[in-house]
Structure formats: C-alpha cells, structure tokens
Amino acid sequence: MNKLIHLFSLLSPFIVYSSNWYKGNTHVHTILCGHADSTPEVVAQWYHDYGYNFLILSEHNKFIDPSTVKLSGEIRDDFLLIPGEEVTGPVHSTAMNVTRLVPWEFKDKNRSKIVQWQIDETKKAGGITILNHPNAPIIRAAELFPVNDLYLFELYNAHPMTKNFGDAHRPSTSSLWNALLDKGMTIYGVASDDSHKFAKWDEKYDNPGRGWVMVFSDELSSDAITLAMNRGEFYSSSGVILKKVVVGKSQIEIEVDEEATARELTSKFLFGRSVKKGKPGTFVDFIGPGGEVEETISGIKASRIATQEYLRCMITHRIKKEDGLLREYYAWTQPVFTDGR
Ligand SMILES: [Zn+2]
Ligand SMILES: [Zn+2]
C-alpha cells in the first residue's frame, strides 16, 4: 500500500500527485530530553498505532538509534523510524536522516552563522536540516538571507508556545516564508508536532497528532523520504487532507479529500486554531510575491497559473463547533517557481 501514483515525464511539465501518500512527523520528544513524559518506545508506538508512516525521534542533542526502539504487538511494515536529532543552541533545527550524533556546542552572536553551522554539521553526518519553530525564539528573515543550503523550515509547529501566526512582537511564519521566497530562496514549509506529552491530554498541552507532512515518494525509506522533502515533494497539514495535487511548471491545482479531512477532524487530539470571525467552509488562497493573496476560491477544488516569480497555496477549512466557536484547519502546498530557481 501507499504506493505513490506519481506521473512524471521529462517531456511533461506536470507532476500529478494523487492518493496514498506517506504521512509523517519530523519532530517529537521523549524522556531522554528531561522534560517530556514518555519513552522512545511509547512515543514511536503512538505514531505507529495512529497510522503514521514515518517518524523522527528528534531528541535535543541526542541521537536515538532507531534499531534500539522496539515496538510491540503486530507491527505494520509501512512504518519507519528515520534517524534524527534536534540540534539546539539559540536556534533549533531537526537533523533529518543523520547516521550519528550531530554536535551542537557552536556558539556565536551571529545567528546566521549558527544556522549555517548546524546545516554544515548535519550534512557531514549524512542528513539535511529543517529549521525549527522560527518564532520561538524569533529568527528574522534577514538573518536567514546569508544562509546556504537551507530548504526546509517549520511553517507550522503545533507546540502551543510557538506563535506560528505571529503576535505584537513577531510576524507570522507565513510572512517569514514570503520574505525568504521574495529574496529568491528555495525553501519549503513543514508542519510538525514537537510534542512532549503522551500521558496527559488537553488542548493546552503539546500532545501529538496536530501537525504533519504528507510526502510523495516512490518508496518508504529514510533516503527516499528525505530526498523527496528536500525537493519540496510534500504538503503540510494541520487537519486538511488533499486528494489531488498537481504541480505544473507554473501551475498549482488541488482537490480536498472531504472524507479523509472529516475523518481527521474526528480526532480527539486535534483542536484546530480558534478564530473570532469568518464563515464556515473550505477556502483556497493562492499566494504570490509579497504575501499577496492573488485569488481566493471557495470550495474543495481550485487551480491557478502563476503570473509572477512564485505561487503557493493555502487551504483553510473552517468549522463551527458545537460550543459555537470557530476553528480552522489547514493544508499548505509548496510553491511553484517560474523564475528558474
Ligand atoms: Zn526546539
Ligand atoms: Zn523540539
């Protein structure tokens, strides 16, 4: 199962992604960090049992060898632990698919240098970097402009303290993304859990199951998933599931999978983002340079041709809960570029 229908030809500018994608979480913690509540086995078992296809046990400055983590019961053959670590300093990053511990002791006042050092050290250990929770602490776009080889960052980190949507002191991670794309960077947005709690459950806790990626890959292996993410062949979700994503040379077309999205929203772990206004429904925003919303389409199918340097797409599913409160769930596609980057 989970075989990607990936229709791609060098003769065709279109990549059509549909059905059966690999669901994964790139960021989670265990008791080994000192402030989470469950063992690597309990954490991995949770993601296995809830239908994920891959997980990175991204412990702070510790390398958890996946071969040491034993799952129990009937183990699915489409579940994979990808080796990794969360490298910390004043800036945090996930070292994805590394073969060993990545050092973290580098200190510098210049945070561009810290990010670059983490990228370079992760590369030496065979992996790639995802810059984590850029709003906690805040890292400014200008600090990332000089950085090379950064292709992934956390657009949506589901930990309640991470301020993805910004506040009086910081712009949203979406604004950060626009600034990096406007500068000419090729960088893709990741959603992750960053959960620490599996023993106590509440909306206010950093529980799992709230942010993830759906990766298009020919196979479920650490190398294939990592390469696919580094090429932007995935979308990110906080609840909305897509049935179809067509990424053309200068076009995006999407279709929401209403049934699968409804199933996700029955999860008792998923609360969505509380908002004050807006009418219930599904809305697709096409976003271009400067963060300009070029078009909003109401409904579950949408497409648009890019007329500027890049185009990306954000899908919002807004519902009114029984308590009368509005909640939003999202999916984010990666950008298409028309300027040859
Ligand atoms: Zn962190
Ligand atoms: Zn973390």
The CA–CA distances, whole Å, from 310 to 23, 184, 240, 286, 318 equal: 26, 10, 23, 10, 26
Classify domain 238-341 at the CATH class level. mainly beta
Position 8 pLDDT exceeds 50: no
- Residue 193 in this model has a pLDDT that exceeds 80: yes
Name the CATH topology of 18-237: TIM Barrel (3.20.20)
Give the integer Cα–Cα distance in Å for 171 and 154: 14
Span(s) in the chain for CATH 3.20.20.140: 18-237
Distance 40 CA to ligand 2 centre (A): 14
Tens digits of residue pLDDT in 152-163: 999 999 999 999
pLDDT given for residue 14 in this prediction: 54
What's the residue count for the chain? 341
Ligand number nearest to the C-alpha of 136: 1
In the chain the first and final C-alpha atoms are separated, in Å, by 34
Do 206 and 160 touch, CB atoms closer than 8 A?
A: yes
pLDDT digits (tens, 9 = 90+) for 247-281: 888 999 999 999 999 999 999 899 999 999 999 99
Ligand 1 midpoint to CA 138 (Å): 12
The alpha carbon of 13 and the centre of ligand 1 are apart by a number of angstroms equal to: 38
Shortest CA distance to 334 belongs to which of 257, 205, 259, 232? Answer: 232
For the purposes of burial, counting CB atoms within 10 Å of the CB of 60, is it exposed (0-12), middle (13-18) or buried (19 or more)?
middle
Nearest 5°: the CA angle 242, 240, 227 is: 60
* Positions of CATH 2.60.40 in the chain: 238-341
Full DSSP string of 130-168: EE--TBTTB--HHHHTT--S--EEEEEE-STTS-TT-BT
Q: How many Cα atoms are found within 13 Å in the side-chain-facing hemisphere of 24?
A: 30
pLDDT in tens, 71-94: 999 999 999 999 999 999 889 999
Protein residues placing their CB within 5 Å of the ion ligand 2 = 86, 194
Alpha helices by DSSP H, the chain: 40-49, 111-124, 141-144, 173-182, 222-230, 258-265
**What is the average pLDDT across 175-189?**
98
Query: What pTM does this model have?
Result: 0.94
Q: Which ligand is nearest to the CA of 36?
A: 2
Largest CA distance in the chain: 53
d(CA 318, CA 272): 9
Residue type present at position 66:
P
